[in-house]
Structure 1
Amino acid sequence: MRSKVYSKLLNKPFCIFIYAFSACLLLSTCKGPGGVRIIKLGHGLGISHPVHEAMEYMATLVHEKSNGEMEIRIYPNQQLGTERELVELLQIGSLGMTKVSSAAMENFAPKIQVLSLPYLFRDDEHRDKVLKGEIGQQLLLEGEKYWLRGLCYYDAGKRSFYTKNKPIENPEDLKGLKMRVMESNTAINMVKAFGGSPTPVSYGELYTALQQGIVDGAENNPPSLFTSKHYEVCKYYSINEHTAVPDMVIISTKVWNLLSDQEKIWLQEAADESADYQYDLWAKSVEESFTEMKKAGVEILYPNTDSFREAVEPIYDAYQTSQPELFSIIEKIRSID
């Protein structure tokens, strides 16, 4: 009986189907059963994070716009690797899409580092004009020469310091503290300018690093601090809002070039609409995060930012002499009304 079952399962059409299906799971994009275009998207955030919710919305839009001819499959929680590993997978075409902080993108497309500079944007309106304008769109495509194409920006809020043992009320309070930063030279230089000791740690490993004292604190936006549960370890949150580093939804150019013109339109429209949706989600999430963290006993402080702004001015001076091309972009951003 068993051999008969096996002989039925191992017929040629069935084997071809299993082979094709298994291969599809290993590819960044493929035509699945019924000719459906499937694109894999991996990221490092939890499923309750507003960025993940926005990407789920994008996947729904792609399905609707294409009448089921195109599908995005999402793998959260670093299932497919850390942020840097995911970007590298895009470069070789082994993964289709990911969400990456523009701070991490500077390691792959150097001009994007300008978006990570502290106190670059005067306010939210200024930031939106930059990102939605010519400069922002040029920076989205800056990674194409490195096999990475930006589709849209997601709001990642404003980043501030949170610590375990003492609050940060001025740059002097950071002296001697090991502060987690992303793998970004701009973030490293910023923390050094404030007097702290920058320590790159993967986001997925940060909770344990805080618990074990590998780092004394970190810097991030309110929803990330809350959804990661880092507030269970860090009870001080100092809202100095030193950066407003956007996230980027990016696609491998190797995958993008495989898409038909119509598929590109479906995907780009879905990404743009999901960005608008994400901005609304983000605003609600920030409010909810503050409420819940206060309930959990987190002390939220609002230090005067003047001393922080003054501390990072030498970073801008250095760009003027060492990287004049990037300094010209900074000047254009600052001149936008």
Structure 2
Amino acid sequence: MTKMTCLALAGLIASASMAQAVELRFAYASNATPTKEAMAKFGELLAEKTNGEVTVAYFPDSQLGGERELVEMVQGGLLDMTKVSSGLMESFSPVYGVFSMPYLFDNDEHFYAAMDDASITGPVFESTRDKGMIGLTYYNSGARSFYLADGPVETMADLAGKKIRVMQSPTSIEMVKLLGGAPIAMGQDEVYTSIQQGVLDGAENNEFAITIARHGEVAKYYSYDMHTRIPDVVLISTQTMDRLTEAQRAAVIEAARESTEFHKQVWGAAVEAEKDKAATEFGVEFSYPDVAQFQQAVQPMYDALKAEPGKYAVYEQIRAVAGAQ
């Protein structure tokens, strides 16, 4: 074999190697530290599983837009991946609305058992395939509770007429209405100034909103009614999956699931740390209302759910998991 032939073959091998290299563009909005760590872990795991063939480039903290814009970019193939609240996904696939139903999950153990059940989550994650994207995995985003500027929520009377920020989710909007509040859908980045200026009386979210988003500076009363445990979902463009090899697709799926297991390990301790920080650094007061009245008030949502067989079937699956624990 001549020297020229050897050089030509080396060039072809190098070109083939370069052709196999894939960089996935993963953008997301502002998030709690454990979730950022889990997304970073996904990239590390994927690189390991593909021997560096598939890597991830991150665009954090809304650099490329808010959650809705990022979903639409993934949908159109302009972005490979994103991580958003499943509450937002309800407007792309109604079945996601089940996860926003109030008092659906009894506790963290029930939440994880249901979300890890592929017979429950698999069809939901696949429900947007015809829209150009699918769900890969989920992350815990905590239990959402109400927090107000002018006092705790001890009974429904404390929510009456209060302007409460909610996600752009029809289910979340209906829940706050039934609890007597006045829901206002807006982006997370507008909440602080809206409470500060009196446009909002409060919001509903997990403990990280109090500290990371610094809402504890303008809303000092956090009431643990824990009405929802709405998971986050990691999305990937179907165009992206289609251009990957079978082995690369398998690695993406495996790395995503393992990143969820990593997230479980760090989430609980992080929540407790943020709660302590909210109390000591922001002076937030925590209360624990009796939620029986709240649960009764939202029952019409479950009555109405029966008219949507697809959603109701998922609801029954999730509740069956609670009974099996």
TM-score by length of 1: 0.87
Instruction: Indicate which of 48, 57, 63 corresponds to 1:79.
Output: 63
Q: Could you say which residue in structure 2 is the equivalent of 1:245?
A: 230
Deviation at 1:261, TM superposition (A): 0.7
My pick for the range that moved more, 147-156 or 136-145, is 136-145
Mean Cα displacement is larger for which, 274-283 or 217-226? Answer: 217-226
- Corresponding residue for residue 113 of structure 1: 97
Task: For 2:202 and 2:269, locate their aligned partners in 1 and report how far apart those are by CA, in whole Å.
Answer: 25
Matched, 1:290 2:268: no
Structure 1 residue aligned with 2:289: 303
Within-5 A mapping of 1:132-171:
132-133=116-117, 134-171=119-156
**3-state SS, counterpart of residue 331 of structure 1:** helix
Amino acid at match of 1:282: W
**Secondary structure, aligned partner of 1:78:** coil
For residue 37 of structure 2, what is the amino acid of its counterpart?
E
Structure 1 residue 292 displacement after superposition: 0.5
Give the secondary-structure state (helix, strand or coil) at the position aligned to 1:257.
helix
Residues 153 and 246, structure 1, Cα contact 8 Å, conserved in 2: yes
Query: Cα 1:168–1:325, aligned 2, differ >3 Å: closer, same or farther?
Result: same
Q: Which moves more between the two structures, 181-190 or 68-77? A: 68-77
Matches of 1:93 and 1:165, distance apart in 2: 45
1:329 alignment partner, one of 308, 314, 324: 314
The aligned residue for residue 183 of structure 1 is 168
Q: Which amino acid aligns with 2:273?
A: E
Structure 2: distance between partners of 1:155 and 1:324: 26
**Do the aligned residues in 2 keep the contact of 1:222 with 1:289 (CA within 8 Å)?**
yes
| 1:318 matched residue in structure 2 | 304
2:208 is equivalent to residue 220 of structure 1:
no
The verdict on how the C-alpha distance between 1:34 and 1:328 changes in structure 2, with shifts beyond 3 A counting, is: closer
Query: Equivalent residue for 1:13?
Result: none
Preserved contact between residue 149 and residue 253 of structure 1 (Cα < 8 Å)? yes
Structure 1 residue aligned with 2:8 = none
How far off is 1:195 after superposition? 0.5
Alignment partner, residue 259 of structure 1:
244
The sequence identity of aligned pairs, in percent, is 40
Q: After TM superposition, give the deviation of residue 324 of structure 1 in Å.
A: 3.2
RMSD of aligned residue pairs (Cα, Å)? 1.7
Residue from 85, 90, 93 that aligns with 1:101 = 85
Superposed displacement of residue 157, structure 1: 1.0
Q: Is 1:279 matched up with 2:253?
A: no
1: distance between equivalents of 2:75 and 2:17? 22
> Is residue 49–residue 223 contact of structure 1 (8 Å, CA) maintained in 2?
no
Q: Which string of whole-angstrom CA distances, capped at 9 and with x for unpartnered residues, describes residues 275-326 of structure 1?
A: 0111122111101011101102100111111111111111111122x32332
Post-superposition offset of 1:35: 4.7
The aligned residue for residue 20 of structure 1 is none
Q: Secondary structure at the match of 1:329?
A: helix
SS in 1 for 2:71: helix
Could you say if the C-alpha distance between residues 287 and 32 of structure 1 is closer, same or farther in structure 2, counting changes exceeding 3 Å? farther
2:181 maps to: 196
- Equivalent residue, structure 2, for 1:17: none
Query: 2:54 is matched by which residue type in structure 1?
Result: M
Q: CA separation in 2, counterparts of 1:326 and 1:267?
A: 28
Cα distance in 1 for partners of 2:234, 2:296 equals 32
Conservation of the 8 A alpha-carbon contact between 1:109 and 1:146 = no
Does 65-74 or 287-296 show the bigger shift? 65-74
Q: Secondary structure at the match of 2:150?
A: coil
State TM-score, norm by structure 2. Answer: 0.90
Alignment of 1:7-46 (within 5 A): 35-46=20-31
- Separation (CA, whole Å) in 2 of partners of 1:212 and 1:136: 40
SS of corresponding position for 2:191: helix
SS at structure 1 position matched to 2:243? coil
Q: Which moved more, 1:82-91 or 1:137-146?
A: 137-146
Aligned residues: 305
In 2, the alpha carbon distance for the partners of 1:95 and 1:32 equals: 23
2:158 corresponds to which of 155, 159, 173: 173
Name the SS of the counterpart of 1:81 in structure 2. coil
Q: Secondary structure, in 3 states, of the residue corresponding to 2:128?
A: helix
SS at match of 1:156: coil
